[in-house]
Amino acid sequence: MSKKINLTIDGINVSVDPGTTILDAARKLNIHIPTLCYHEDLCVAGNCRVCVVEQENSRTLPASCATPAAEGMVIHTNSGKVRVARKHIVELLLSEHNADCTKCYKNGNCELQSLASQMLTGDHMFLDLVPDKHYTIDMFNSAIVKDDSRCIRCQRCVRTCEELQSVSALSVAYRGNNMKISTFFEHPLFEVVCTNCGQCVNRCPTGALIERNYVDQVWDAIYDPAKHVVVQTAPAVRIALGEALGMPPGMIVTGKMVTSLKRLGFDAVLDTDFTADLTIIEEGYELVERLKRALVDKDPEVALPMATSCSPAWIKFLEHTYPDLLPNLSTCKSPQQMFGALVKTYYAQKKKLDPKNLVSVSIMPCTAKKFEADRPEMRSSGYKDVDYVLTTRELAIMITQAGMEFDKLPESHFDNIMGMSTGAAVIFGTTGGVMEAAIRTVYEVVTGREVPFESLNITPVRGTEGEVREASLLITGTKPEFKFLEGVELKCVVANGLAYAKKVMQNVKDGNANYHFIEIMACPGGCLGGGGQPIPTNKEIRAKRTQAIYEEDLGMPLRKSHDNPEVQELYRDFLIKPLGHKSHELLHTHYTPRKRY
């Protein structure tokens, strides 16, 4: 333990570890210095200067987020000098910003706006620079709208894209008065390497980067008496939605969410978890099939390791970055798209509905799902399989619009069919979850026994943020038809965040990896940290959501995908068997190699 550093902040003495910033030291004392460009998940930029403080015997006011505490420092966070400077800075930001708040999607959830109200701005200290700027809006993308007129150039998005996702679709262009956040040659987002992950959207302090919202379209569908509107909800929504409606992080609100959706007027409230279970069956069999081709048939064409395919940002990332590794992706559609394809076929049949009158809506923790639903290959029902994708945030808007007091809602159950699920599906929402769910099923299919882990908790694959987690499982005592897997050590790897995905795939590409199965989630922490989740999202909040997901899993009566009776029924009545003809038609897909530029 190295020596503590002693300093004084606003007259209070505090001791901190070396390397602690003034900002963090102040937070220890419950003194909250305002920030804008600072974000817990990202490296320090120190460029907005909102967090400046006064340091005795210093000519300048240091940015507290970027300045490490030093022995004997005397800091004032709220001196006259600081207040004037801080107000100047916020006024400057406002002068460059299209502060048309009532027309902004982020009205009410904007960090600049709350700072402005805190500083009592509004006396028009400086000239309005906006009319002279030729700001552009990029709204040609399925998922993300980028409005430069609302940008305050804090570069959170740039750092997110580069550090967390290693995508670098967004970067800084030009300098001085013309400095802006842009893309490769200023192409619209849909023409560049952007994966639509929405991590930038989640971190944008203003309305410069927002999801393309479909709230009104969904209301229209609900109001249309000719339409039967079906909604599915992703696993990670039920543990985060409460946050967007005034509840603390980590609350499981599944029952309230279902009630709210019913009250919003959806004709059927179903569950993406159902198709998450289905994904496990299809993907599990696909893995076993690939292993058989490799081990028994010695087929040189078989692509191993096999990688999960439920994260659409991850898929687009691979299409751009490692197009030659696309055969390694499981051909399974994501649970959202399996659901969409089944709603307009199987569900319509069972419920005796004309698929043309069906509107399928999904609630996702994700922005990339909007892009996924718009992919041309996602029309295997003969219609657009998923018509509208709403983020967790958009659902919260609808609930608020409808005047519901969310935390006081009673709980209710999903409708059927396609509303039943297991704990294995719930954990799709966290990193390592698909891997764990798949192993629970594959191991049992192959050996006839449950996985050898207490309470089915396969903790070795439970990934954490900021690491690539490797694990292996020895398969013994196989059933006769799976004899080829006897003694095989199944090697798995789990990564979350595209920067870590890149590390794994580079290893695979270089031939340095002997994995069988790879799980990748594009967002830090998995879907629970998705780009469509409530703002703010940070490490602490993600940890609480993770805890909630595992709690929800443990509380489910069924915890293995193949035990889902509705899935069993689906195979019996409709699909016949895993990887069968119908499955290939509806549940599997192909991918598109894309260029880097």
Partner 1 sequence: MSESKLKRVDLIFGEYSNTKYKVLADTLKRRNEDILEDLMESGLKGRGGAGFPTAMKWKLAADAPSDTKYVICNADEGEPGTFKDREILSRVPRKVFSGMAICGKVIGAQKGYIYLRSEYKFLLPELTRELEMFHEHIGKMGFDFPIEIKLGSGAYICGEESALFESMEGFRGEPRNKPPYPTTHGFMGKPTVINNVETFVNVVMIMRLGPVQFKLLGTTDSRGSKVFSVSGDTPIPGIYELELGMPLDRFVEEFGDGDTKAVQVGGASGFCVPRKKFKDTIIGFEGVPTGGSMMLFNSSRSMYNVLHNYLDFFEEESCGQCTPCRVGCQQLRKGIVAVKKGDKKAGYLDQLLKLSESMKITAKCGLGQSVANSFSSIVNNFKEEMIY
Please report, as ranges, the residues that interact with partner 1 according to CB under 8 A: 44-50, 52, 59-61, 63, 66-68, 81, 84-85, 88-89, 92-93, 95-96, 125-127, 129, 152-153, 155, 172, 174-179
In this complex, which beta carbon is closest to partner 1, that of residue 43 or of residue 474? Answer: 43
**C-alpha–C-alpha distance, residues 597 and 585, integer Å:** 32
**C-alpha–C-alpha distance, residues 83 and 487, integer Å:** 69
Shortest distance (Å) from residue 158 CB to partner 1: 10
184 Cβ contact list (under 8 Å, min separation 6): 169, 171, 192, 193, 597
In this complex, which beta carbon is closest to partner 1, that of residue 6 or of residue 95? Answer: 95
**C-alpha–C-alpha distance, residues 232 and 477, integer Å:** 39
Longest dimension (CA), the chain: 80
180-182 and 171-173: which strand pairing? antiparallel
Report CA torsion sign: 224, 229, 234, 235.
positive
Shortest distance (Å) from residue 47 CB to partner 1: 4
Shortest distance (Å) from residue 122 CB to partner 1: 15
Residue 476, burial from CB neighbour count under 10 angstroms (0-12, 13-18, 19+): exposed
Which of 431, 418, 396 is CA-nearest to residue 545? 431
Which of 414, 410, 430 is CA-nearest to residue 553? 430
Long-range contacts of 82-86 (CB under 8 A, 24+ apart): 82/52, 82/53, 82/54, 85/52, 85/61, 86/34, 86/50, 86/52, 86/119
C-alpha distances in angstroms, 273 versus 168, 232, 281, 536, 564? 32, 9, 13, 25, 10
In this complex, which beta carbon is closest to partner 1, that of residue 127 or of residue 226? Answer: 127
Which of 462, 483, 488 is CA-nearest to residue 473? 488
Shortest distance (Å) from residue 418 CB to partner 1: 50
**C-alpha–C-alpha distance, residues 249 and 502, integer Å:** 30
In this complex, which beta carbon is closest to partner 1, that of residue 89 or of residue 439? Answer: 89
The type of residue at 69 is A
In this complex, which beta carbon is closest to partner 1, that of residue 127 or of residue 474? Answer: 127
- 379 neighbors 343 (Cβ within 8 angstroms): no
Q: Name the strands in the sheet holding 144-147, side by side, starting at the edge strand that comes first in the sequence.
A: 137-138, 144-147, 209-211
In this complex, which beta carbon is closest to partner 1, that of residue 47 or of residue 507? Answer: 47
In this complex, which beta carbon is closest to partner 1, that of residue 66 or of residue 543? Answer: 66
Residues forming the active site: 283, 286, 310, 330, 369, 372, 377, 527
Shortest distance (Å) from residue 62 CB to partner 1: 9
First-to-last CA distance in the chain? 48
In this complex, which beta carbon is closest to partner 1, that of residue 126 or of residue 223? Answer: 126
**C-alpha–C-alpha distance, residues 306 and 490, integer Å:** 12
**C-alpha–C-alpha distance, residues 402 and 263, integer Å:** 9
Q: 364 forms bridges with which residues in the sheet?
A: 391
In this complex, which beta carbon is closest to partner 1, that of residue 56 or of residue 450? Answer: 56
- 200 neighbors 160 (Cβ within 8 angstroms): yes
Which of 108, 235, 93 is CA-nearest to residue 152? 93
Shortest distance (Å) from residue 111 CB to partner 1: 14
Shortest distance (Å) from residue 48 CB to partner 1: 5
**C-alpha–C-alpha distance, residues 142 and 213, integer Å:** 9
Shortest distance (Å) from residue 426 CB to partner 1: 42
Query: Which run of H or of E encompasses 181?
Result: strand 180-182
In this complex, which beta carbon is closest to partner 1, that of residue 74 or of residue 404? Answer: 74
Shortest distance (Å) from residue 43 CB to partner 1: 10
Shortest distance (Å) from residue 99 CB to partner 1: 13
- 24 neighbors 91 (Cβ within 8 angstroms): no
Shortest distance (Å) from residue 524 CB to partner 1: 24
Residues, the chain: 597
In this complex, which beta carbon is closest to partner 1, that of residue 46 or of residue 580? Answer: 46
